Structure 1
Amino acid sequence: MTHHVPCRALLFDADGVLVDSDAIVEASWTRWARRWGLDPDDVLARIHGRRSADTVPLLIAPEHQAEANADIDRSEIEDAGGVTACPGAADLLASLPAGFWAVVTSGTLALASARFVAAGLPAPEVWVTADDVPAGKPDPTGYLTAARALGVPIAECLVLEDSHAGLAAGVAAGAAVLGVSERALGGGAPLVVRDLAGCSWSGEGLEVQRSAVLG
């Protein structure tokens, strides 16, 4: 048995949905926190689903923010080779026709591209990254921008997200949302899946195996 989620395009978050970067992200930010004299646990509690440009100002004095942001961006790119594809991501992307999907990520284009290469995933025709929007998630601009680039009304798009901030961005944009991983539980998505292994493209939307659904 499956759940049918009708849509004309899929708008993916990257980290935690398509690429498994959790361990690498936490290692990069932990080293960064120690270099800047911060509590790593406090830093790690703030980072998921946010742009580094939005996280750093919460932690660093204004006069040092540019340096600190460049430091974490450089560190994450250096560590990008350690990421892998999330379960089901490669198969689902391979099944999608050109122009039916985009990636909306809180990372920079350089970082997202490096992680996709390391994970062996194809680059999307449409990237919307931290470089392209004035505000990060939960601001809806990234998802609205991706839908316009694909030429699909946002109401006919499905956002796939693991973070609560990302799910909120999808809802605010006016898209349907699908939660991915346990991190998405409690984030307002009507359906949350363990990963993409139980998801397939039907041509008229996403088919979700009931066995893949959490909660």
Structure 2
Amino acid sequence: MEIRCDALLFDVDGTLVDSTAAIERTWRRWAAEWSHDPDAIIAVCHGRRSKDVIAQFVAAEDVARATARLDELELADLAGIVAVPGAPELLAGLPARAWAVVTSGSHALASSRLRAAGLPLPEVMVNGPDLRHGKPHPEGFLTAARLLGVDPGRCVVFEDAPAGVAAGKAAGAAVVAVTVTNPASALAQADGGGGRRRRWVPGQRALPGRLPGWLGLRGFTDEHEGGQRCRSTSRPRSSSAATSRSSWSSMPPRTRT
């Protein structure tokens, strides 16, 4: 099977960077300050805009102030943030206009976490606070595709959270679910809906610098009609073979000869 695409659209937290510990620390601190159950918040916070989560727990008139406080806590805590293994190699091999970041976080927060993980900043970054609708609405991915000048249906979305998977599907993109933050069972919707959407989950034998079977992307090339080609070479592994924390990597891109 081959997925032809013109661009890759990445979430940040749990997809390019492993920031789970920092995210949960800051939400727990915020919950303590606002007298809320931290576990209830963490259960629904991943992959969504802070203000949308906070609106579930505080009065409407307090949302802006509470969100500003969380933003302050998040920017102050970058400890332990690292790149998901394989992400540096994949991004280093992509043309600048062939990828973008679509994240629920602010530009300042996403940029800080990418830098903390030693990853490059994209030319196109779409941030949740700048949108009318957050994930699972497709606005973010549709905006990124428009800014890159590509058809959303010719994009591949990489996501780690159910809200992001749903947003990618709604945008009409192919969706690759990455099980860094959530188990495969929580991302099963990436298989549904027909069309070009498929789900890949990481297996236990992903090796740095070579193609791991779970990802299914053979390479990123510019060999057809000026676009890119993402080739799938294997069927997805079953969820029983997946790990809750794993890596992903890619073979380097080929160029036309």
Could you state the TM-score of these two structures normalised by the residue count of structure 1?
0.91
- How far is 1:187 from its partner? 2.8
Is 1:201 the counterpart of 2:219? The answer is yes
Q: Provide the residue aligned with 2:161 in structure 1.
A: 163
Partners in 2 of 1:26 and 1:212 — Cα distance? 30
Aligned residues: 213
* Aligned sequence identity (%): 48
Partners in 1 of 2:112 and 2:87 — Cα distance? 16
Matches within 5 A, 1:70-149: 70-149=68-147
* C-alpha RMSD over aligned residues: 2.0
Q: Provide the residue aligned with 1:66 in structure 2.
A: 64
- Of Structure 1 and Structure 2, the greater helix share is in 1
Partners in 1 of 2:51 and 2:232 — Cα distance? 34
Q: Deviations over 1:54-101 (max 9, x none)?
A: 111100112222211101111011112431101111010001011000
Could you state the TM-score of these two structures normalised by the residue count of structure 2?
0.77
Q: Deviations over 1:14-73 (max 9, x none)?
A: 111001011110011011101110011111111011000111110011222221110111
Partners in 2 of 1:19 and 1:208 — Cα distance? 24
Structure 2 residues without counterparts, runs of 5 or longer: 192-197, 222-227, 240-257
SS at match of 1:148: helix
The structure, 1 or 2, with the larger RCO (C-alpha pairs under 8 Å, 6+ apart) is 1
Q: Provide the residue aligned with 2:178 in structure 1.
A: 180
- How far is 1:188 from its partner? 2.4
Which has the larger Rg? 2
SS at match of 1:114: helix
Q: Which is worse superposed, 58-67 or 136-145? A: 58-67
| CA pair 117-81 structure 1, distance change in 2 beyond 3 A | farther
- How far is 1:143 from its partner? 0.3
